[in-house]
Structure 1
Amino acid sequence: MPFNSREDFLSVLTNLPTTDKSYTDFARHRQDSLTKPQGSLGKLEELSIFMAGWQTREFPRLEKVSCLVFAGNHGVVSQGISAYPPEVTAQMVQNFKNGGAAINQLCTLSGAELKVIPLDLDRPTGDFTEEPAMSEEELCKALQAGADAVPTEADCLLLGEMGIGNTTSAAALSLALFGGGGQQWVGRGTGLEDEKLAHKTAVVEKAVKLHQSGIADSFELLRRLGGRELAAIAGAVIAARHNRIPVLLDGFISTAAAASLIRSAPDSLDHCQVSHLSVEPGHRHLVEALGKSPILQLDMRLGEASGAAVALMILRAALATYSGMASFEEAHVSRSVQ
């Protein structure tokens, strides 16, 4: 899947694979035949049907799950929008590699293989309050890094990020996509006080005002207001779709990165689930705008795919009950009380 130009990118967003109705129908019929009142497992039933349709398997599986965490630095940090310096991005990447972060523990527990992909950490993107975040070549390189990182044989993909300043980018993408005021999309990120929160909001509004007229499609949206790690997430989402791999997005940042695709392809996130509802205020507005229903709400806002890894355990529960339960006929249980 080459991303050598804007035209290449827009081309792969056309004729996207869709869920297979024959498998969703099979899974729905099986759920209705199991030893429980119909619909009584709620979201677990919906998830099993979702997985069957995208994996095109009567009995979907989670034998190989890949968790990709992309890391990048943002030039807009020079505007004083983060409580942490950009050096922390590289330090946290090393922590991931040393096994000391939350995502390391959660991937071990949930049975996901973690891969961390740093993207030119010594070269931040442009300050998007003054210029586009990336050139066309830089964006294509980041999109390609995301697509290339996706194992084609994966049963499910978890997507997360690390990057000081990237909640600012996520808020700018969301504002440019869905409108509203900056306050609707901007949160405290790594822990900003009120004065700096107001400044961050002004920065986001300034950036969107500067670039709005030039945002004709998803490519320009990411190029102007995104970051390398957000672009890589978008590239991974596209690659997963073409390989029929279901995706668990993490929180506000990975959801905003993926949402950038709907500017050019409204149905491009049909294979994605939002793993949890972040405390970042913009995330609630974003999932509502996308028509998504997060799997969990645990007051998390860490990023690094932590929510996706926890949601993976719920997904495993969905498939365990779907595959392992007996039907009324198999268990010789009457469907109704006489």
Structure 2
Amino acid sequence: MSTLNDIPLPPALDRSLEAELRRVIDMKTKPRGSLGRLEALALQAGLIQRTTKPRIVRPAMIVFAADHGIAAEGVSSYPQEVTAQMVANFLAGGAAINALSRSVGMTLEIVDAGVATPIPAVQAGPDVGYERESLGPGTRNFAREPAMSRATALDAIARGAACVRRHAALGTNVIGFGEMGIANTSAAACLMSRLCGVPIDDCVGRGTGLDDRGLAHKREVLGRALALHADTGDAVDTLATFGGFEIAMMTGACLEAARAGMTILVDGFIATSALLVAATLAPAVLDYCVFAHASDETGHRRMLAHLGAAPLLQLDLRLGEGTGAALALPVLRAAVAFLDEMASFESAGVSDQAG
């Protein structure tokens, strides 16, 4: 992939079945609208799959991991080596996303998109996949120069799309994306500021737990970086300037998942920043997205508002890894189950007062 024209863009959602789906939902044995957001989820699942009987098949979580050169500016309370150490933890099955993926029946895959330090040797668990798609030992420090070239950003988008195609070939039709990368909240905040037109102070949060002094320093560093790169071009150039390899791969993954007709479970601040880039390139991608939760990270709610998104859950999460997306899967399962299994007024012999 070498040009913007090579990026796989999703089609607009086919809404020809919408009236029939609404009729089926309304005729279930309940007051109309009484299942609230579940009804909207069922409608969305049916439209994406183009059927009145949608199914959830082999739901998958892909966690992309990479390092960021901006970490050299002291914007995180954790050293960069933690990225590699957490990848080892993922592979060994000991992280939060491992436990949550297992609990909700999601296939889990870890992708090394560009981890800077060697990943400690571990005995990989039997239920964790691993792919190495590294574009190098982390990005460059965007406080001094662009994080990557435009060509590298396009390559990362292509690799993220290829990761999704592997799962599509196995039948997956629901997918979530997680991430790991020390300092990636800095990258996400700058992407948000530039693409949403929001002051950087409204985008920057404490990340992994910065104190007040650390937060002020982070804001100052990112403000300088945005000023240095005041003339970024389109969304791909903005991604190349401020993004990480994992964010760029998630951008391609979102575009490909929508193109393949998957339902996308959108996680927190970092994952949504990748979707923000994808939606800037192809607004139709949003039709395929279920926004799992509102992160406790500063800026995420504003980013969701910019996208016109209504999150399903509010659990004060700010971990990343795809954890919020995994927790939303049972809600989606419930929506599909009521559409498929609940009786209609006619089949149950129940009078419909609205009929």
The two structures have a TM-score, normalised by structure 2, of 0.90
Query: What is the CA distance between 1:162 and its match in structure 2?
Result: 0.6
Question: Cα distance 1:267–1:203, how it changes in 2: closer, same or farther (>3 A)?
Answer: farther
Contact 1:250-1:274 within 8 A present in 2 as well: yes
Pairing of 1:111-122 with structure 2 (within 5 A) = 111-122=105-116
Contact 1:175-1:181 within 8 A present in 2 as well: yes
1:65 aligns with 2:93: no
- RMSD over aligned Cα, in angstroms? 1.5
1:235 aligns with 2:249: no
> Which residue identity is paired with 1:128?
F
Hey, what does 1:8 align to over in structure 2? 6
Hey, what does 1:289 align to over in structure 2? 306
Please say which of residues 223-232 and 114-123 is displaced more in the overlay. 114-123
List structure 1 runs of 4+ shifted beyond 4 angstroms.
Answer: none
Instruction: Say which of 197, 201, 204 aligns to 1:179.
Output: 197
Q: Deviations over 1:107-162 (max 9, x none)?
A: 11111100010112121201111111012332233212211111223211111101
Aligned mates of 2:275, 2:140 — CA distance in 1: 21
Aligned mates of 1:210, 1:300 — CA distance in 2: 32
Hey, what does 1:202 align to over in structure 2? 220
1:149 aligns with 2:163: yes
Q: Deviations over 1:227-249 (max 9, x none)?
A: 00000100001111211111011
1:321 aligns with 2:306: no
Aligned mates of 2:54, 2:18 — CA distance in 1: 11
Query: What is the CA distance between 1:180 and its match in structure 2?
Result: 2.6
Contact 2:67-2:244 within 8 A present in 1 as well: yes
Aligned mates of 1:210, 1:266 — CA distance in 2: 28
- What are structure 2's unaligned runs of at least 5 residues? 117-136
1:301 aligns with 2:313: no
Aligned mates of 1:7, 1:212 — CA distance in 2: 25
Query: What is the CA distance between 1:280 and its match in structure 2?
Result: 0.5
Hey, what does 2:129 align to over in structure 1? none
Aligned mates of 1:176, 1:136 — CA distance in 2: 17
**Secondary structure at 1:69's aligned position in 2?**
strand
Aligned mates of 1:179, 1:196 — CA distance in 2: 24
Contact 2:60-2:107 within 8 A present in 1 as well: yes
Contact 1:5-1:136 within 8 A present in 2 as well: no
Query: What is the CA distance between 1:278 and its match in structure 2?
Result: 0.2
> Which residue identity is paired with 1:253?
I
Contact 1:159-1:249 within 8 A present in 2 as well: yes
**Secondary structure at 2:152's aligned position in 1?**
helix
- What are structure 1's unaligned runs of at least 5 residues? none
Aligned mates of 1:202, 1:254 — CA distance in 2: 24
Aligned mates of 1:18, 1:26 — CA distance in 2: 19
1:110 aligns with 2:104: yes
Contact 1:278-1:284 within 8 A present in 2 as well: yes
Q: Deviations over 1:12-71 (max 9, x none)?
A: 34xx31222133322211110000011111110100110111111221111211111000
Hey, what does 1:124 align to over in structure 2? 138
Query: What is the CA distance between 1:211 and its match in structure 2?
Result: 1.9
Hey, what does 1:34 align to over in structure 2? 28
Aligned mates of 2:66, 2:149 — CA distance in 1: 15
Aligned mates of 1:20, 1:7 — CA distance in 2: 23
Query: What is the CA distance between 1:207 and its match in structure 2?
Result: 1.7
**Secondary structure at 2:230's aligned position in 1?**
helix
1:251 aligns with 2:268: yes
Contact 2:192-2:198 within 8 A present in 1 as well: no
Hey, what does 2:240 align to over in structure 1? 223
The two structures have a TM-score, normalised by structure 1, of 0.94
